[in-house]
Amino acid sequence: MIIHLEDNITQNEKDVLLNKLKELQIKTNLVSTQFMDYIIGMPKTDFDIRTIGNLRGIADIHRVSDAYKLVSKKWKVNDTLIDLGDDVTIGGSELAIMAGPCSIEGEEQIENTVQHLLKNNIKIMRGGVYKPRSSPYAFRGMGMDGLKLFYKHCSENGIKVITEVMQVSQVEEMVDYVDIFQVGARNSQNFNLLDILGKVDKPIMIKRGMSGTIEELLASAEYVFSNGNEKILLCERGIRTYESAYRNTLDLNAIPILKEKSHLPVIVDPSHGIGLRQHVATMALAGVMCGADGVIVEVHENPEKAFSDGQQTLYYRQAEKLYQKLKTTEELMKEF
Amino acid sequence: MIIHLEDNITQNEKDVLLNKLKELQIKTNLVSTQFMDYIIGMPKTDFDIRTIGNLRGIADIHRVSDAYKLVSKKWKVNDTLIDLGDDVTIGGSELAIMAGPCSIEGEEQIENTVQHLLKNNIKIMRGGVYKPRSSPYAFRGMGMDGLKLFYKHCSENGIKVITEVMQVSQVEEMVDYVDIFQVGARNSQNFNLLDILGKVDKPIMIKRGMSGTIEELLASAEYVFSNGNEKILLCERGIRTYESAYRNTLDLNAIPILKEKSHLPVIVDPSHGIGLRQHVATMALAGVMCGADGVIVEVHENPEKAFSDGQQTLYYRQAEKLYQKLKTTEELMKEF
Amino acid sequence: MIIHLEDNITQNEKDVLLNKLKELQIKTNLVSTQFMDYIIGMPKTDFDIRTIGNLRGIADIHRVSDAYKLVSKKWKVNDTLIDLGDDVTIGGSELAIMAGPCSIEGEEQIENTVQHLLKNNIKIMRGGVYKPRSSPYAFRGMGMDGLKLFYKHCSENGIKVITEVMQVSQVEEMVDYVDIFQVGARNSQNFNLLDILGKVDKPIMIKRGMSGTIEELLASAEYVFSNGNEKILLCERGIRTYESAYRNTLDLNAIPILKEKSHLPVIVDPSHGIGLRQHVATMALAGVMCGADGVIVEVHENPEKAFSDGQQTLYYRQAEKLYQKLKTTEELMKEF
Amino acid sequence: MIIHLEDNITQNEKDVLLNKLKELQIKTNLVSTQFMDYIIGMPKTDFDIRTIGNLRGIADIHRVSDAYKLVSKKWKVNDTLIDLGDDVTIGGSELAIMAGPCSIEGEEQIENTVQHLLKNNIKIMRGGVYKPRSSPYAFRGMGMDGLKLFYKHCSENGIKVITEVMQVSQVEEMVDYVDIFQVGARNSQNFNLLDILGKVDKPIMIKRGMSGTIEELLASAEYVFSNGNEKILLCERGIRTYESAYRNTLDLNAIPILKEKSHLPVIVDPSHGIGLRQHVATMALAGVMCGADGVIVEVHENPEKAFSDGQQTLYYRQAEKLYQKLKTTEELMKEF
């Protein structure tokens, strides 16, 4: 049960309500986000909403039978729109495209990529500065130095920055240089990280875990929302299966199902989702056909020399063709 | 290695060639299909093609490093076109649509479906008469009586019939009433069935196994081809994973990869691929976006009363909307 | 619901009972096995057993809520004992060991293996004469010639034969040369094959499918039982997962669960279950610790030269150590 | 390549060595643990060890072709022994048993469990105070208050404490109240956490990820080792597959393979590995049969009332039977 509180609810009214719920033996969580105050109530047994319906300060009450509550479409039927400022939005009628290298490698590479994005009217740049790597001996990213350069060049050119945050202690130092925090597949159930990201007023894109269920992805989003941050993006990036002809199995089924279950925007990551450069564009387009609100894709001036993920990274000329096709597909989707 | 023989090769020339290969200790398989004669040679070590290149009767020699040979794109770069007669083809520039009920249930249902297909200019009807069911107590299909009715009504209306064959002994009785034999997911590695279907001059659509790899699907197709039948369709219908929010995980990655590796047409089955009626159309369109040559989809006048698979079967009105969108998407694909 | 009929039920009593069930709108299946007659009833709604309980000819009535009925432990709490004759039984207090090569390769190899088994007091020899192979160009087994040799040498030495049957048409020709028919993983849901094996009076060992569920394995066994054959063995041989450090993931969880759900004996196949010779013995012993009634294991005089599966086949000296340890473990299990 | 340095190597000798390696264009990592100093060298091409073999300060040089180096058995063939003090060791000839509740719930529960362990001569108690939960509204553990109580009662009774650490910031506050840090399945690739645990002189037990490969588990252990901590335990706790008859698929294949590839001790967790109380003991014994160095198992005075994981938690009387059987099985293993 989600109890949506009125903006002008008084402390006294809140106390009355909470006491009533306590009396009814309903476990409660108070949630205050950038936009609203909510009480999440977990009645153990069936309970008559009218018992509390007449109390003051309540805007609305919604029953939500899902395990996740605030991210469910059962109470909020309108899609969530993420506003990044400067007319860049995600989740509305326009498809969001995020492009850039797997890893930030240096200033020249950043400038280079920014030019590529500007030329193609792409508004969001991806790039990792903290890289989760299976081996401790692999390149682990440029860290804050890289991020500052990354943000400087992007913000000067009206481009928004999305980058991965790997641990709680990074959030504070990163927050001023990031437009969207990305939570990687390996951290999809790092609940402490999700908790802290719920206390930040920046959008969070959560990638589905390596073998995460759709339900688990939504529960992870619930962590962020219930800690106070409504600005959440969900990202399908492929799951681990027995098939070895490609890197991951892009689960496009997940897209219409996430859109059905949740009001949050859904982004598709075809680069990790198939892991083979020659098929990334195809899978990006298929993702949009499935209803994705955006695409995140790896591009590099010279993928063969990229510090990481080169085999799944597009050349600029391939990316440009893809952007065109994405536009055309977006138009088609509006007709449907 | 595929040695493509000349049409007019003499028996003597063939013997000379086979003897030479034997002498070189190359294991050989002679393959004669509807269209051509081939020798599949398996040299144990690297071998100089010029050793045999000057022998008579050889049209061409191709090295194919894949485990599957004849179905590989490495020797036959042009896509295979399946001609069903009456201007119905699969694998060419036009998208093939196959629609119909999961199970054939009776004459009225057949007539009804035929009318639906005629109205929408759909040329191929699906419908099961032999149904593989987990439980021995479930409905197992109308058998030959159903097939004869099915074929009668379709052939009278210029509609082609695709239906599943489950065992070797059914092939002979079914062959005159079938335009495409379907091999189901559970029989994807029923090698005896594949052998016998290689000796029939009817197209065979092989569904990927429940947890079949892309490589295994191609190897199953190789069974059919190497027994003499070049008319093969591959079908992606979803694989088994840990995710339980839907029936199967439609592996759309498989489509561009199959198209890259093989010259055979690829069909997508969104009905089994997601298993939820409300998302079948979406996944069908995404499949086409991935490059599928055709779509096979379950429709029924009243899915709620269907003998099987009702939850994933489209109502006519839903199917009609899908056909329209498929046309539009097909047009878009031609532009790309 | 399983209605267990009395041995001396008259046709008239049977008709009265069936009519009554029809009147109650209960779908029925009549099952006659080597041992008993049963009616499987599928009441659509809850139904009072007393309505039919007083009719003549009924020995007992059992409610079974599982999807599978006759193979369930819910009605038959005592473990099934498979009697192969000559004091060789499976499913009783003694652990059954089945050993032999992956493929039957020739008379010398058979004699050789028989000597190895005799020396170690092993009573059941495995060996394939029809081999399911991914590639049509691979060795597919010696067929009936091999089977006749195999059976001749075994029967002369009091050793029982287990071998794989791949298709319906082989059953008749094989039946006189086989003590246990094996259904392979790829045929685990070949329902026509299961049907026909239900009409044979020889034990059937069904291997779990490549990605078969425990429930599906039991449903496959139900096919055999409901067609008239109560002599069934279940075999866990590893499932397909994402892990590639070994061949299959031996699912030992399945053993206690199968023993809990069904009265049928359970065999473990560590050779396919891990696929690495050096660990086969370990996994065999673990399987027995899990409650397996028997072990099936690949041995060969010279695994490096085996026609198939050499990498998972034990040398005789390794197998002999394993047999000793199996005995010791079996003793331990009796104490527990 | 692992270059094992002499204890008394001088700074100058170290510099000479590092310079030589740099000159040879070999990327190096200097690793200093509780016990030794190592240089991990990554030669890009084949390289002649004699080039550096005669330099001073080198105790030994090992080629290790695995992606993980320090945890590999290729250079350290003797099994690692973890000494917890007070004669409690893991990885030697004696089987380690860790038992206790899923969650620490309060002082009475702790005392109660301690009595149970003392009575059965169990030396290590498990219990979670920070609980990773899919839902943000679920019980998340007693935190440091719980841990202090937990540690107090255990240390007073000579019992060692193992508990899960979820994030970097907890390490410092927990370190004095913990004998073994556990890294949970969801944090198996939380590389920042692994880094920091590499700087602590307490043993770390790393659980395999939900869908982690064996190779990834070893790479995670390499993170800890290469940061300076050699005291590492690996834990198999079941992987995620399509099977839903139980909670996870306990991958017992992983145990002999981990023992073959690494010198680190391996612990089996049958509670999470099957998730069904009635089968936990069976799977524990099977794990020992596979060569596990220890077992971690959930017990509770009253599992039905446990705050978490009750369905997979043993009653004391069940646990006691299991401890007996573990002893017997351990004896058997010594014979083998």
Q: What's residue C107's pLDDT?
A: 97
**Interchain pair B211, C216: CB under 8 A:** no
Provide the residue count of chain B.
336
**pLDDT (tens digit per residue) in C287-331:** 999 999 999 999 999 999 998 889 999 999 999 999 999 999 999
Cα(D320)–Cα(D125) distance, integer angstroms: 15
- Which distant-in-sequence residues (6+ apart) come within 8 Å of D102 by Cβ? D127, D128, D131, D271, D298, D300, D306, D307, D308, D309, D310, D313
pLDDT at B134 exceeding the cut of 90 = no
The C-alpha of A149 sits at a distance from chain D's nearest C-alpha, in angstroms, of 23
Best CA proximity match to B249, nearest among A259, D211, A253 = A253
Determine the residue of chain D that is closest to A192 in CA distance.
D167
Cα(D65)–Cα(D69) distance, integer angstroms: 8
Cα(B86)–Cα(B155) distance, integer angstroms: 11
**Interchain pair D289, C286: CB under 8 A:** yes
Determine the residue of chain A that is closest to B328 in CA distance.
A332
**Cβ contacts of A227 on chain D, cutoff 8 Å:** 136
Tokens, residue B274 = 């997601």
Cα(D268)–Cα(D258) distance, integer angstroms: 12
Best CA proximity match to B196, nearest among B163, B177, B173, B172 = B172
Cα(C100)–Cα(C114) distance, integer angstroms: 9
Q: What's residue B324's pLDDT?
A: 97
Determine the residue of chain C that is closest to A247 in CA distance.
C242
Best to test chain A binding among B210, B236, B252 (most A CBs inside 10 Å): B252
The pLDDT profile of chain C, 336 residues, written as one tens digit per residue, is 999 999 999 999 999 999 999 999 999 999 999 999 999 998 887 778 888 888 999 999 999 988 899 999 999 999 999 999 999 999 999 999 999 999 999 999 999 999 999 999 999 999 999 999 989 998 899 999 999 999 999 999 999 999 999 999 999 999 999 999 999 999 999 999 999 999 999 999 999 999 999 999 999 999 999 999 999 999 999 999 999 999 999 999 999 999 999 999 999 999 999 999 999 999 999 999 999 999 999 999 999 999 888 999 999 999 999 999 999 999 999 988
Cα(C210)–Cα(C216) distance, integer angstroms: 11
Given a contact cutoff of 8 angstroms between Cβ atoms, the answer to whether D306 and D300 are in contact is yes
**pLDDT (tens digit per residue) in D91-120:** 999 999 999 999 999 999 999 999 999 999
**Interchain pair D244, C213: CB under 8 A:** yes
- Does the complex come out with an ipTM higher than 0.85? yes
Best CA proximity match to A247, nearest among A268, A273, A270 = A273
Tokens, residue D42 = 């990554």
Cα(C203)–Cα(C195) distance, integer angstroms: 14
Cα(C211)–Cα(C216) distance, integer angstroms: 10
Cα(D29)–Cα(D7) distance, integer angstroms: 17
Cα(A296)–Cα(A319) distance, integer angstroms: 11
Domains in chain D with CATH codes: 2-62 (3.30.70), 82-335 (3.20.20.70)
Residue A125's identity, in one-letter code, is: M
Mean pLDDT of chain B: 95
**Cβ contacts of B214 on chain A, cutoff 8 Å:** 243, 245
**Cβ contacts of B240 on chain D, cutoff 8 Å:** 242
The predicted model gives A2-10 an average pLDDT of 93
Determine the residue of chain A that is closest to C248 in CA distance.
A242
- Which distant-in-sequence residues (6+ apart) come within 8 Å of C329 by Cβ? C285, C288, C289, D289, D332
Q: Which residue has the tokens 């309500």?
A: A17
Nearest to C192 among B166, B210, B226 (CB): B166
Q: Which residue has the tokens 């008579």?
A: B56
Best to test chain D binding among B211, B242, B249 (most D CBs inside 10 Å): B242
Strand ordering across the sheet containing D27-32: D27-32, D37-42, D2-5, D58-62
Helices marked H in chain D — which ranges? 11-23, 50-53, 107-119, 143-156, 168-174, 191-197, 214-226, 254-261, 270-274, 277-289, 316-335
**Alpha carbon distances (Å) from B154 to A112, B114, B146, B166:** 60, 7, 12, 21
Q: What's residue A43's pLDDT?
A: 85
**Interchain pair B166, C68: CB under 8 A:** no
**Interchain pair B219, C192: CB under 8 A:** no
Cα angle for residues C304, C310, C314 (degrees, 5° grid):
90
**pLDDT (tens digit per residue) in D255-269:** 999 999 999 999 999
Helix (H, G, I), strand (E, B) or coil at C129: coil
Cα(B70)–Cα(B34) distance, integer angstroms: 14
Interface of A with C (CB under 8 A): 211, 240-242, 244
**pLDDT (tens digit per residue) in A37-76:** 999 998 887 778 888 888 999 999 999 988 899 999 999 9
Asked whether the CA dihedral B123, B129, B132, B133 is positive or negative, the reply is positive
Q: Which long-range contacts (CB under 8 A, 24 or more apart) does A105-113 make?
A: A105/A142, A105/A306, A105/A307, A106/A142, A106/A146, A106/A149, A107/A149, A107/A153, A109/A300, A109/A301, A110/A149, A110/A150, A110/A153, A110/A154, A111/A153, A112/A301, A113/A299, A113/A300, A113/A301
**pLDDT (tens digit per residue) in A164-177:** 999 999 999 999 99
Best CA proximity match to A159, nearest among A118, A188, A194, A199 = A118
Pairing of strands C89-90, C82-83: antiparallel
**Cβ contacts of B246 on chain A, cutoff 8 Å:** 253, 257
Given a contact cutoff of 8 angstroms between Cβ atoms, the answer to whether B196 and B170 are in contact is no
Helix (H, G, I), strand (E, B) or coil at D13: helix
Best CA proximity match to D236, nearest among D219, D253, D260 = D253
